[in-house]
């Protein structure tokens, strides 16, 4: 996000995002809580990082031909990042999205000329038409289609090992006790954890998983539960996926939709940071970690995306009432 030079393209604006001390929450928690503002990336989320890295790695390896169609499934943020990269590099983009994806994300994607395939979230995970199973099928049926597979391709994790994590380490001058992040594809928490633990093995890494997802139970009991619906976008999953490296995570906390959304709105009201629901989940987890750690702990987290994707949902009281989540 350095602004002291002219960029050759929007892609050079990815990364180097600010790290901000959350003053009011730090005072309440009696700890130091720092948040990396990933909504400051060009397309408004941390997923810009993996979109650029994964496509460039595939290009260099000769896996993508000029004019190819990139295919992946996404809760919306990766798709937006990919749309930006594809526009600059001359690729087409086809994305599988859940039918519960926020209207704002859908409008953004349509404005960027992304071809959308909607997955029915009422289908069981084992259905060939479910969210996780549909994307590889779409890729196979698409001429010159290349399946990026952000959930299982560890070039996702590598993007954060090479960019997000070194930025955090430098910004914090290496003084970190805990790193807290949501578990979605697993790329962010796993890539950052690997780097930070190489620098200082004492750093504890805490994941956040929404109620209804399978990661919390698998981490604690090694059992795969039956998933159930939840509204928090960008976190959790109904399958075990390859990018979640559980051996690099020290604990996983479970958050309810209601709690995550409440904390998202408190973040805006108390720190003037307008973020998405996964950021509220991460903030709640930071406060839980602070309570357990005791005074003085230094906690770093990721605020993954912008509130402008959720104005009709999380920030809409009518929507919250409809979902039974209004307080």
Q: What is the mean pLDDT of residues 239-245?
A: 96
- Burial class from Cβ neighbours inside 10 Å (0-12, 13-18, 19+) for residue 172 reads middle
Structural contact between residues 279 and 180, judged by C-beta atoms closer than 8 angstroms: no
Condensed to tens digits (0 to 9), the pLDDT of residues 110-144 reads 999 999 999 998 888 888 888 888 999 999 999 99
Owner of token pair 């633990």: 197
Asked whether residue 158 carries a pLDDT value surpassing 90, the answer given is yes
Condensed to tens digits (0 to 9), the pLDDT of residues 196-236 reads 999 999 999 999 999 999 999 999 999 999 999 999 999 99
Asked whether residue 5 carries a pLDDT value surpassing 60, the answer given is yes
Among the options 47, 94, 105, 265, which is catalytic? 47
Proportion of the chain above pLDDT 70, given as a percent = 99
Asked whether residue 12 carries a pLDDT value surpassing 90, the answer given is yes
Domain residue ranges in the chain: 10-45+154-322, 47-147
In which band, very low, low, confident or very high, does the pLDDT at 327 lie, cut at 50, 70 and 90? low
Q: Which CATH number fits domain 47-147: 3.40.50.1100, 3.40.440.10, 3.30.565.10, 1.10.10.10?
A: 3.40.50.1100
Q: Is 223 a catalytic residue?
A: no
Q: Which CATH number fits domain 10-45+154-322: 3.30.565.10, 3.40.50.300, 2.30.40.10, 3.40.50.1100?
A: 3.40.50.1100
Nearest to 304 by CA among 189, 190, 174, 153: 189
In which band, very low, low, confident or very high, does the pLDDT at 321 lie, cut at 50, 70 and 90? very high
10-45+154-322 matches 47-147 in fold:
yes
How many CA atoms does the CB half-sphere of 82 hold within 13 Å? 31
Structural contact between residues 116 and 95, judged by C-beta atoms closer than 8 angstroms: yes
E-state strands within the chain: 19-21, 32-37, 69-73, 92-98, 115-119, 145-147, 178-182, 204-210, 251-255, 298-303
Structural contact between residues 129 and 219, judged by C-beta atoms closer than 8 angstroms: no
pLDDT at residue 119 in the model: 92
**pTM for the full model?**
0.95
């Amino acid at each position: 996000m350095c602004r002291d030079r002219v960029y050759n393209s929007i892609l050079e604006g990815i990364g180097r995002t600010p790290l901000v001390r959350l003053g009011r929450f730090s005072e309440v928690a009696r700890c130091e809580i720092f948040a990396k503002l990933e909504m400051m990336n060009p397309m408004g989320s941390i997923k810009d990082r993996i979109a650029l890295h994964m496509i460039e790695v595939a290009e260099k390896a000769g896996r993508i031909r000029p004019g190819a169609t990139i295919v992946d499934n996404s809760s919306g943020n990766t798709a937006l990042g990919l749309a930006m990269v594809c526009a600059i590099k001359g690729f087409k983009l086809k994305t599988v999205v859940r039918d519960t994806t926020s209207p704002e994300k859908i409008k953004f994607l349509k404005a960027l000329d992304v071809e959308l395939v909607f997955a029915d979230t009422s289908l069981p995970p084992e259905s060939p038409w479910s969210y996780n199973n549909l994307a590889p099928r779409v890729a196979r049926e698409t001429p010159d289609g290349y399946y990026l597979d952000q959930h299982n391709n560890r070039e996702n994790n590598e993007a954060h090992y090479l960019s997000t994590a070194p930025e955090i380490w430098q910004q914090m001058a290496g003084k970190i006790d805990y790193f807290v992040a949501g578990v979605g594809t697993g790329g962010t928490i796993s890539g950052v954890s690997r780097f930070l633990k190489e620098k200082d093995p004492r750093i504890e890494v805490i994941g956040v998983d929404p109620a209804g997802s399978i990661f919390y139970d698998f981490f604690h009991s090694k059992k795969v539960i039956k998933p159930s619906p939840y509204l928090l976008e960008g976190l959790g999953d109904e399958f075990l996926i390859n990018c979640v490296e559980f051996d690099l995570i020290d604990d996983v906390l479970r958050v309810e939709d209601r709690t995550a959304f409440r904390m998202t709105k408190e973040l805006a009201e108390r720190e003037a940071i307008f973020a998405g629901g996964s950021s509220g989940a991460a903030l709640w987890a930071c406060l839980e970690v602070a309570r357990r750690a005791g005074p003085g702990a230094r906690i770093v987290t990721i605020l993954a995306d912008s509130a402008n994707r959720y104005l009709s949902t999380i920030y809409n009281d009518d929507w919250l009432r409809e979902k039974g989540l209004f307080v």
